[in-house]
Amino acid sequence: MEGQLKIERREVLKEKPDFSRLGFGQYFTDHMLIIDYKEGKGWHDARIVPYAPITLDPAAMVFHYGQTVFEGLKAFKTTDNRVLLFRPEKNFARLNRSNDRLTIPQIDEEQVLEALKALISLEKDWIPTEPGTSLYIRPFIIATEPCLGVRASHEYKLMVILSPVGAYYAEGLEPVHINVESKYVRAVRGGTGAAKTAGNYASSIKAQVEAKESGYSQVLWLDGIEQRYIEEVGSMNVFFKIDGQVLTPELNGSILDGVTRDSIITLLKEWGIPVVERKLSIEELHEAYQNGTFEEAFGTGTAAVISPIGELNWLNHKMIINDGKIGELSQKLYDTITGIQTGKLADPFHWVVEVN
Ligand SMILES: *Cc1c(COP(=O)(O)O)cnc(C)c1O
């Protein structure tokens, strides 16, 4: 990336929202980061500017063919007012893997992380401190060249916006009811399932709507070929505890490689709890349920960290997991990860990065 980071401060700062009623992704901070790309020139003109709408040509390629990628991570404020990021280098490495799949030029991961730190540093007062709250960070890249030809754009914008977010669960970790999706699929072998790209989410909303209509809060996705093997839950990775062993679907090209997923596998190994990444069919899960060996199930992702599953419905076979209550291991994983993220617990794996 060419040139220095320019900072244009907002003259009159916005009024902050009520930090006890934030919800998710509804408020945005005073400033944002923008970096432009043009073929032949590379990434250039990195700048922090007042948060505001942007103007794009209606022919900008992102609107027509969806050439875009995004990331999601969080910043936390410790009780002694330090600002911590959780494994941010993993997010920028993944952004580049998504870029590769969407034919978007690679970014300089270290320089973008440095620019992000400068932005967070400027917006420190926007980081809420109540338990469960954080500053959600949304980096994304859009194809901006005005052209209706189907090909890779020659121009892009990378932007980072920040949103103070509330506790994902108002009253403790509430187990959710999940429908096993047997009609729609999220991703297929060779597709874009492993990339964080908008199209994956656009095509998943219909299944979510139909699940809600039947009284479920999300869907469990099966593989796109045999519709048999478990992939993810909603937009989270998924784990099951069966007969003392923790199982999670192996990364197969259609599953998103979650930072939370990786952190959980690392913790389980450290604790000496057997954890296996492999193919896992819905029939096998149902069998374990009938045998009484199905102990816990939970989704994992940056937004909720751990989302316990209280009920799974598969073609009208209802599986009630751990009496519909959060499992002991799920709770321990949640407490450990959020403890490390907020500086309350030691950080033996050097996961947190301080922003000065
Ligand atoms: C972002 C995401 C996840 C979780 O990834 P984290 O890095 O843990 O936040 C899982 N599945 C999908 C489809 C995602 O988009």
pTM, full prediction? 0.97
Residue 255 Cα to ligand 1 middle (Å): 9
Fold (CATH) for 176-341: D-amino Acid Aminotransferase; Chain A, domain 2 (3.20.10)
Q: Find, among 167, 164, 139, 176, the residue nearest to 46 by Cα.
A: 139
What's the pLDDT band for 167 if we cut at 50, 70, 90? confident
Side-chain-side CA neighbours of 43 within 13 Å: the count stands at 20
Which residue blocks in 105-204 are alpha helix, DSSP H?
Answer: 109-122, 198-202
- Cα 249 from chain centroid (whole Å): 17
Q: How far is ligand 1, taken at its centre, from the CA of residue 96, in Å? A: 15
**pLDDT tens track for 88-103:** 999 999 999 999 999 9
Residue 237, ligand 1, Cβ within 6 A = yes
Closest ligand 1 atom, residue 196 Cα: 15
The beta strands (E) that lie in the chain are given as 6-7, 31-38, 42-50, 68-70, 73-77, 83-86, 134-143, 155-165, 176-180, 218-222, 230-233, 237-242, 245-248, 275-277, 294-301, 305-314, 317-320, 352-355
pLDDT given for residue 168 in this prediction:
76
- Cα 302 to ligand 1 centre (Å): 7
Q: Can you give the C-alpha Rg of the chain in angstroms?
A: 21
Q: Is 234 in the pocket of ligand 1 (CB under 6 A)?
A: no
CA atoms within 13 A of residue 329's CA, in its CB half-sphere: 25
CA of 10 to the centre of ligand 1 (A): 33
- Written as one string, the DSSP assignment of 20-61 is TS--SS----SEEEEEEEETTTEEEEEEEEE-------TTBH
Query: For the chain, how many residues are written?
Result: 356
Please tell me the distance between residue 312's alpha carbon and the centre of ligand 1 in angstroms: 20
Q: Dihedrals φ, ψ of 198, to 5°?
A: -55, -40
From 235, 306, 334, 341, mutation site for ligand 1 pocket: most ligand atoms within 8 A of C-beta? 235
Dist CA 58 CA 178 (whole Å) = 39
Ligand 1: distance of its center to the CA of 77 in Å?
Answer: 23
pLDDT digits (tens, 9 = 90+) for 331-349: 999 999 999 999 999 999 9
Every domain of the chain with CATH number 3.20.10.10 lies at 176-341
Residue 1 has pLDDT above 90, yes or no: no
The single residue listed with the structure tokens 């052209």 is 147
Q: Is 143 in the pocket of ligand 1 (CB under 6 A)?
A: no
CB of 297 within 6 A of ligand 1: the answer is no
Q: Locate CATH 3.30.470.10 in the chain.
A: 6-165
Tell me how far the alpha carbon of residue 353 lies from the centroid of ligand 1, in angstroms: 20
Task: State pLDDT tens for residues 285-318.
Answer: 999 999 999 999 999 999 999 999 999 999 989 9
Q: Which CATH architecture has domain 6-165?
A: 2-Layer Sandwich (3.30)
Q: Please state the atom number of ligand 1 nearest to the C-alpha of residue 90.
A: 7
Render pLDDT for 229-269 as a digit per residue (tens, 0 to 9): 999 999 999 999 999 999 999 999 999 999 999 999 999 99
CA of 348 to the centre of ligand 1 (A): 23
Atom of ligand 1 nearest to the CA of 257: 5
Considering only CA atoms, which residue is closest to atom 14 of ligand 1?
A: 235
Ligand 1 pocket check for 307: Cβ under 6 Å:
no
Task: Fill in the amino acid letter for 265.
Answer: I
Find all residues with CB under 8 Å of 207, minimum gap 6, and list them: 181, 183, 184, 186, 219
Which residue CA neighbors atom 10 of ligand 1 most closely? 236
pLDDT score, position 71: 98
